[in-house]
């Protein structure tokens, strides 16, 4: 959004990432809705609201659950989904917002790498936005993820590329602001078909950890091909068999008011997982919390059940005063996968 890609391209660098104009797909929810409307991309009904009266009218039109999104970058904290009308109004106060109809059905995250013409989708993933088990509590930046999705329709990726990604890329080109980089489509598989919840223009946390853990092809070569307009010549991606699970360990008080400065111990005991640092800092010889989502623990297994077991075995070693994490990441999907395998084996 700050135009870094534009400045670097202007002096001859190959850049993986959209221009400032194309990044409006994430920077403005209203702009994204306009592009989707022009491209015929299925999404939720919405109203862009600038006054309290407009917000109230939109909430009344769509009814609960209420979905209110700040029409600006908000570091993953600009969306509220609530049954509480007063909370929805409070979230909108002082902001230009997009009020949307609520979309039923499971959510899916799909990343697509593009050079503005060619599109290379990655494996779909699912993340967990609510802070508590069973999708309870307030929204967060994401408490965990897994990939792939054993329950997803076999043609899901092809459908999303044809109905969502390609029309969006073509519309951006038609507007004179071609999109090259990473287009993230947050989707709901509703009773009426696939609907777009939101676009991001970057790799999203924590789904990226799960998706890239399965990618065998060199990531750098893929990104350079997108940056140089040569994706059409890039060989098909190779993926590891099995599944990956990511569990986020959060600080005390997250997401409302994360506490910082708490010691983090136990990481040296973890040998069978990747532990990625986000909200951490050094305080002398101590590792301490410095943000809300502190660590992301990612493992790969032959199936979701084994990946989950390894992930939670690793998380059990991590000690943070007041630290917390969800205990149901990929639980339902792993149970369904096991049931399906049992049925197929007779």
Pairing label, strands 181-190, 280-283 = unpaired
Looking at the predicted structure, is the pLDDT value of residue 31 above 90?
A: yes
- Burial annotation 182-199 (CB, 10 A radius, 16+ → b, else e): bbbbbbbbeeeebbbbbb
Looking at the predicted structure, is the pLDDT value of residue 346 above 90?
A: no
Work out the burial of residue 81: count CB atoms within 10 Å of its CB; fewer than 13 is exposed, 13-18 middle, 19 or more buried: buried
Looking at the predicted structure, is the pLDDT value of residue 72 above 80?
A: no
Strand partners, 287: 282
Count how many Cα atoms sit within 13 Å of the Cα of residue 206 in the half-sphere of its side chain.
33
Question: How confident is the model over 26-34, as a mean pLDDT?
Answer: 91
Q: How far is the first Cα of the chain from the last one, in angstroms, to the nearest whole number? A: 54
CA 125 – CA 184 distance, rounded (Å): 11
Strand partners, 320: 264
Q: Does 219 sit behind a cis peptide bond, omega within 30 degrees of 0 on the bond before it? A: no
Alpha helices in the chain (DSSP H): 4-10, 24-27, 29-39, 52-62, 85-92, 156-160, 166-174, 207-213, 219-227, 304-315, 331-344
CB atoms within 10 A of CB 109: 25
Question: How confident is the model over 211-218, as a mean pLDDT?
Answer: 98
DSSP, res 231: G
The pLDDT assigned to 339 comes to 85
The pLDDT assigned to 207 comes to 97
Q: How far is CA 151 from CA 30, 104, 164, 171, 339, in A?
A: 32, 16, 20, 31, 11
124-174 pLDDT, tens digit each: 999 999 999 999 999 899 999 999 999 999 999 999 999 999 999 999 999
Where exactly are the structural domains of the chain? 4-44+103-233, 243-344
The pLDDT assigned to 2 comes to 95
The pLDDT assigned to 74 comes to 61
pLDDT band at 345; cut points 50, 70, 90: confident
Looking at the predicted structure, is the pLDDT value of residue 37 above 60?
A: yes
Question: Which residues neighbour 237 within 8 Å (Cβ) at sequence distance 6 or greater?
Answer: 120, 122, 215, 216, 217, 222
**Cα 294 to chain centroid, rounded:** 17
CB 239 within 8 A of CB 300: no
Strand, coil or helix: what is 89?
helix
The pLDDT assigned to 30 comes to 87
The pLDDT assigned to 191 comes to 87
252-303 pLDDT, tens digit each: 999 999 999 999 999 999 999 999 999 999 999 999 999 999 999 999 999 9
Question: How confident is the model over 226-241, as a mean pLDDT?
Answer: 97
Tokens of 83: 């049954």
Tokens of 241: 């068999």
The pLDDT assigned to 77 comes to 62
The pLDDT assigned to 76 comes to 56
Pick the CATH number of 4-44+103-233 from 3.40.630.10, 3.90.420.10, 3.50.50.60, 3.30.470.20: 3.30.470.20
Topology (CATH) of 243-344: 3.90.600
CA 28 – CA 253 distance, rounded (Å): 29
CB 210 within 8 A of CB 269: no
CA 131 – CA 251 distance, rounded (Å): 11
Question: How confident is the model over 63-90, as a mean pLDDT?
Answer: 85
pLDDT band at 335; cut points 50, 70, 90: very high
Q: pLDDT > 90: what percent of the chain?
A: 87
CB 195 within 8 A of CB 44: yes
Tokens of 270: 């973890």
The pLDDT assigned to 75 comes to 59
83-115 pLDDT, tens digit each: 999 999 999 999 999 999 888 889 999 999 999
Proportion of the chain in helix, strand, coil states, percent, rounded to 5: 30, 30, 40
Phi, psi of 93 (to 5 degrees): -55, 125
Question: How confident is the model over 195-224, as a mean pLDDT?
Answer: 96
The pLDDT assigned to 202 comes to 96
Phi-psi region at 181: left, alpha or beta (left = phi > 0; alpha = psi -120 to 50): left
């Amino acid at each position: 959004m700050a135009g870094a890609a534009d400045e670097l391209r202007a002096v001859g660098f190959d850049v993986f990432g959209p221009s400032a104009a194309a990044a409006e797909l994430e920077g403005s929810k209203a702009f994204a809705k306009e592009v989707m409307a022009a491209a015929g991309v299925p999404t939720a009904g919405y109203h862009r609201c600038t006054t309290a009266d407009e917000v109230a009218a939109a909430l009344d039109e769509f009814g609960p659950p209420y979905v209110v999104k700040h029409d600006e970058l908000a570091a993953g904290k600009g969306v509220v989904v609530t049954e509480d009308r007063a909370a929805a109004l409070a979230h909108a106060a002082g902001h230009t917002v997009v009020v949307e109809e609520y979309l039923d059905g499971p959510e899916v995250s799909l990343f697509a790498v593009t050079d503005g013409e060619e599109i290379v989708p990655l494996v779909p993933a699912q993340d967990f936005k609510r802070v508590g088990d069973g999708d309870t509590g307030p929204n967060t930046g994401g408490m965990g993820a897994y990939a792939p999705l054993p329950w997803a329709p076999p043609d899901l990726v092809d459908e999303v590329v044809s109905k969502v990604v390609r029309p969006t890329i073509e519309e951006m080109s038609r507007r004179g602001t071609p999109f090259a980089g990473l287009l993230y489509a947050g989707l709901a598989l509703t009773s009426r078909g696939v609907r777009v919840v939101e676009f991001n223009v970057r790799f999203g946390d924590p789904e990226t950890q799960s998706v890239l853990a399965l990618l065998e092809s060199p990531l750098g070569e893929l990104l350079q091909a997108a940056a140089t307009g040569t994706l059409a010549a890039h060989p098909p991606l190779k993926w590891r068999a099995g599944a990956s699970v990511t569990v986020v360990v959060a600080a005390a008080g997250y997401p409302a008011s994360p506490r910082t400065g708490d010691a983090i111990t136990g990481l040296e005991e973890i040998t069978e997982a990747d532990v990625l640092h986000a909200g951490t800092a050094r305080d002398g010889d101590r590792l301490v919390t410095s943000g809300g989502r502190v660590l992301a623990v990612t493992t790969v297994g032959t199936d979701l059940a084994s990946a989950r077991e390894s992930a939670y075995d690793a998380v059990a070693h991590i000690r943070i005063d007041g630290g917390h994490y969800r205990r149901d990441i990929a639980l339902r999907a792993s149970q369904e996968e096991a049931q399906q395998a049992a049925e197929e084996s007779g």
